[in-house]
Structure 1
């Protein structure tokens, strides 16, 4: 079922949700009119293949056609997003992002620096307390688990664990989907590698993970290139460590050329939460809030699910029979997620600090675009 079909089926239901959660119709009307006057929403770091964002953005445009979506640097990392806010504090032009989609560890840091403004969506009460900042400065949006995407036209034996990646048969094949000095996805891949060696999430996982990548690099198996769907298809990076939703989306996009397989490593099932936030300096604050309302409505959440992400309101949607069966059937088997570990914000922060500061000294591989 397409996101546009979902939008049409759920439009009436969405209005009911807003009312049920205490967002009066006139408040939404005022928000819509404010956004209409602004005429634009500026996003950043939202590649269309990530978490189904292409269809999510298309659904938002269809619902609010008066807004132009200005998409900045789709391949930016979380650190790049915050730098864009800092660099454009006094700039109300099109280079200033309104909204952010960042790794969990970046939310509290951005809040402490005064880069975020609080806002609570109408469905606020259905977002788990542990996945949101109490005053609405940031709030969880979706999560996935770390996985391997493998080009099976090139790789004969699909690795099923991080330790497998050290085997000589994978020489010049393994890459990260980001730079571990700036990309949340890559930073947490290092955490997962450390956990695979028995380390607890946090500083310990960072140290063990950095040692793993040092060994991988010294063995000649690590490719210091930011991996994308294209680099895997071309054979530059036949094995990519990435979030499952990215890996599954890329696999589908290949349509069998090349043949590809996604597997969750047996020695570490790391779940990672991303968060949404509105820039404290957003040039279009009403459009930003309207975007958040859409993302956290049933239709927005199901749009992410269609892109293989588990939306933060997933349990609430399932409990209320709002998830179409075909979307549930398209997800990987539930048992793949049973051993998933959700690190605390303190553990994520400790791991992030140790990885970003230690990568160059320990691993010594300069990851390039």
Structure 2
């Protein structure tokens, strides 16, 4: 039995062997995902739990792919029902309009649809927010004696040659969002991120900025001991490094910006029912808690807090909740406008060739 595009399944997490969606997914036998590193938002546990729960195979394509790569994979495999065609994607918020304009995804509303905030879902179900994080400082405490608590701290002479971004601002959404956050902390707005570029010019002129794309290895070695990156990636590093070196994750006192990622089902999915079942799983309380365990705030977080279903130990593992309350969520238009400005003006204003 093939489910219709927007037909809801049984309540998420309650599908049994007799549920039509489960039956249809089992007949397909497989789900193909792309760009899901196991340490990103705890996707490893999500995939293994889904496989065990429903007995489906999960074909994992290119875990290190970016959002643009995921979209290209859909386009390149429109007429291909083989193993290189993704069923589902997880992309940055700014890609939502493109998915609809180019008719790359199919509509589907999960059974928990009403608990997903309206501002982070397409009204017809062509995409929907899955989780979000905020830009944080990831700090190697073995190298940095005084851990910075806010953006202004980064300009102090003691951080000379220590501050880096987790991507090239001319191409990386994470780096661009870092500049947007710096703008908010320095008199700018989501519509005017020029103060963020000016802040990084000051960092670079002071000799504090390191033009290296930071990752776990550079942080651990002390090459980039202070990095701006998504809090869930920083928390994953902290857990993985297990005190060697000791990592502190700081949500700055000002300029707290949140970034949402989106889930969607390919319009050309070879396994459309498995894809829908995957969405039901991810948007169930069980799936949302797996993301939270990985340091990501699931999109249904507020609903789950209100119902008291989040274990205290998961909340305790995150930075203080009151800091997240300061987070602002830019619109797609604001993200795309800032992206264009930063890409065009980075070298002219800041002059640091990040590699």
TM-score above 0.5, yes or no: yes
TM superposition shift of 1:209: 2.1
Q: Which residue of the partner structure matches residue 230 of structure 2?
A: 243
| Preserved contact between residue 258 and residue 327 of structure 2 (Cα < 8 Å) | yes
1:176-195 alpha-carbon deviations (Å, 9 max, x no partner): 22333333222211211111
- 2:259 is aligned, of 272, 279, 287, to 272
Taking the aligned partners of 1:50 and 1:226, their CA distance within structure 2 comes to: 18
Q: Which residue of the partner structure matches residue 342 of structure 1?
A: 329
Which is further off, 122-131 or 330-339?
330-339
1:156-183 alpha-carbon deviations (Å, 9 max, x no partner): 2212222322333323322222333333
Q: Which residue of the partner structure matches residue 224 of structure 1?
A: 211
Question: Does 2:220 correspond to 1:233?
Answer: yes
TM superposition shift of 1:82: 2.2
What pairs with 1:74-223 in structure 2 (closer than 5 Å)? 74-202=63-191, 204-205=192-193, 207-223=194-210
TM superposition shift of 1:281: 2.5
Taking the aligned partners of 1:347 and 1:37, their CA distance within structure 2 comes to: 43
TM superposition shift of 1:131: 1.5
Greater helix share, structure number: 1
Q: Which residue of the partner structure matches residue 5 of structure 1?
A: none
Question: Does 2:37 correspond to 1:50?
Answer: no
Q: Which residue of the partner structure matches residue 24 of structure 2?
A: 34
| Preserved contact between residue 219 and residue 226 of structure 2 (Cα < 8 Å) | yes
* Gap change, CA 1:18 and 1:105, over 3 Å in 2: same
Taking the aligned partners of 1:336 and 1:225, their CA distance within structure 2 comes to: 28
| Preserved contact between residue 93 and residue 332 of structure 2 (Cα < 8 Å) | yes
Which is further off, 247-256 or 92-101?
92-101
Q: Which residue of the partner structure matches residue 9 of structure 1?
A: none
TM superposition shift of 1:309: 1.5
* Gap change, CA 1:335 and 1:38, over 3 Å in 2: same
1:73-95 alpha-carbon deviations (Å, 9 max, x no partner): x2333233223333333333333
Greater than 6 Å deviation, 4+ residue runs: 23-26
For the aligned residues, what is the CA RMSD?
2.5
Uncovered stretches (5+) of structure 2, i.e. residues with no partner: 1-7
TM superposition shift of 1:268: 0.9
- Matched length: 347
Q: Which residue of the partner structure matches residue 65 of structure 1?
A: 55
* Gap change, CA 1:241 and 1:110, over 3 Å in 2: same
Question: Does 2:269 correspond to 1:282?
Answer: yes
Q: Which residue of the partner structure matches residue 313 of structure 2?
A: 326
* Gap change, CA 1:178 and 1:88, over 3 Å in 2: farther
Q: Please, what TM-score do these two structures have when normalized by structure 2?
A: 0.88
* Gap change, CA 1:161 and 1:297, over 3 Å in 2: same
* Gap change, CA 1:134 and 1:146, over 3 Å in 2: same
SS at match of 1:188: helix
Q: Which residue of the partner structure matches residue 254 of structure 1?
A: 241
Uncovered stretches (5+) of structure 1, i.e. residues with no partner: 1-16
Taking the aligned partners of 2:269 and 2:212, their CA distance within structure 1 comes to: 33
TM superposition shift of 1:218: 4.1
Q: Please, what TM-score do these two structures have when normalized by structure 1?
A: 0.85
Taking the aligned partners of 2:216 and 2:73, their CA distance within structure 1 comes to: 25
- 1:311 is aligned, of 298, 306, 314, to 298
What pairs with 1:341-360 in structure 2 (closer than 5 Å)? 341-360=328-347
1:87-111 alpha-carbon deviations (Å, 9 max, x no partner): 3333333333222212211112222
* Gap change, CA 1:77 and 1:212, over 3 Å in 2: farther
* Gap change, CA 1:165 and 1:86, over 3 Å in 2: farther
Taking the aligned partners of 1:78 and 1:107, their CA distance within structure 2 comes to: 11
